[in-house]
Amino acid sequence: MGNGIEGNNINFDDLPPLRKLGRYFWLAWFTASMGGQFVDAYDTLIIGAALIYLMPLWKLTPVETGLLAASAFIGVALGAVIFGPIADRMGRRLLYIYDLVFFVIFGALSAFVTNFWELFIVRFLLGIGIGGDYSLSPTMVAEYAPAKRRGGFALASMNSFWGIGSVVGFLSAYGMAVAWGGNTNPDFTWRFMLGSEAIWGGLVIILLRMGILESPRWAALQEQLGRKVKERSTDVIRKMTGGKEASFDSGIAKKPSIKDLFAGKMWITTIFLWVWWPVADIAFYGSNMYTPYITKGLGVTTPQMSFLASALYWAIALLGYYTTAATYDVLGRRFVTILGSTIMGIDMFVGLALYEMKLFSTSLAFPLVMALFTIYYYFMNFGPGPPGPLPWPKFGPLGLELPGKVLLQCSPGLAQPLPPSTCPY
């Protein structure tokens, strides 16, 4: 077992609650959370909103609508595979900053496209950047956080930024729809929606990340191998602890191997995640992207109000993430996943029954839709949502956090396009 620092009495991995760490740790946690999680959510929901205006303007067929909705997801799977090995060899920090350049460039270009294929290609390339950051961000948090606090708070609460990105995305869509989306200028509305991704998901986060140092665990492994690093692991740990010296377990320096993902009982976790997480993502991304469509399709609201209602669902459901963060280490991933999945399923069956009873055509429609979606999203967030992508950064062997996360992201990345491409309305 390799140590980044030897001969000190304080063990970083055994440190008390994270709130006692220095401000630098929280900056690193915040910038990572604003990357993969916030960016992925904002993109998923803003393209769903933009398509409401694009479909009649461009006279899109159901197939074309589905392909545009799925285009970034296809790029996500490829981005995880491209950026992961590079980050293992060259370091986390370099790509941690520059993978979001994809978001700035192609987010801005998406506001100027003139036809279906241009938008499909631009969004596919944007998805490559999202895929790289979606894999790298939780790895950075896992390698920064004390080992005993990775799952419960550092990673589970990091996932709450998916909910924050959802709220911001829907509120942004609502504001743009109110300003220009009626009969005023729908063409400008969808262009502004997609172009806003360059600001929210790119420039702001890149500027914040410029001050982030290299992963201390990655740096320590390189030091074991005799390689030069720009920031020594001791310097990073000292900055996170507010100037205190501390030891930590960096793992054993060796080249990551796919075989290690199946070593011992780890193969059970690997296979389970490759099967279960893609299936879960079909439900997650299908419902998330099409929440405004479903709400509007029930005849409850106008397009503008469907965005506002969707933001309200997610604002309430955010509590689910923080419930997970507070109870994850006590209740355990298995219990939380089973409980949340079960209640989500019951909620949808109840919704189907109410639909068959034609209650959505009555004055009860709006409160019923609000209740159903709020319960669904709350237990998605206090349930399978946050724990799903956590096991590799939390439980994977040190040094395999990123390879495990890359493969975990690649698998659902191939499943995410299914809901929007097969059910485009």
pTM higher than the cut 0.85: no
Structural domains of the chain sorted by starting position, each given as residue range(s) with its CATH number in brackets: 12-422 (1.20.1250.20)
pLDDT for the residue numbered 106? 92
pLDDT for the residue numbered 255? 59
pLDDT for the residue numbered 424? 47
Inter-axis angle of helices 266-297 and 38-58, nearest 10: 40
What pLDDT, in 10s, does the model give residues 280-330?
777 777 777 777 777 776 665 677 888 888 888 888 878 888 887 777 767
pLDDT for the residue numbered 73? 82
Whole-angstrom distance, CA of residue 149 vs CA of residue 329: 9
* Successive 10-residue mean pLDDT values, the chain, 425 residues: 46 63 78 80 87 90 85 82 78 79 89 95 91 80 70 66 87 86 78 87 77 80 77 76 67 60 72 73 73 70 79 83 76 80 91 89 83 87 65 43 49 49 48
Which residue in this structure is represented by tokens 């409160």?
A: 367
For 58, 70, 127, the CA distances from 122, given in Å and listed in that order, are 17, 12, 9
pLDDT for the residue numbered 254? 57
Element (H, E) at 15: none
What pLDDT, in 10s, does the model give residues 325-365?
777 767 777 788 888 889 988 998 999 999 899 888 888 88
Which residue in this structure is represented by tokens 């509007």?
A: 296
Q: Name residue 227's amino acid.
A: R
pLDDT for the residue numbered 5? 40
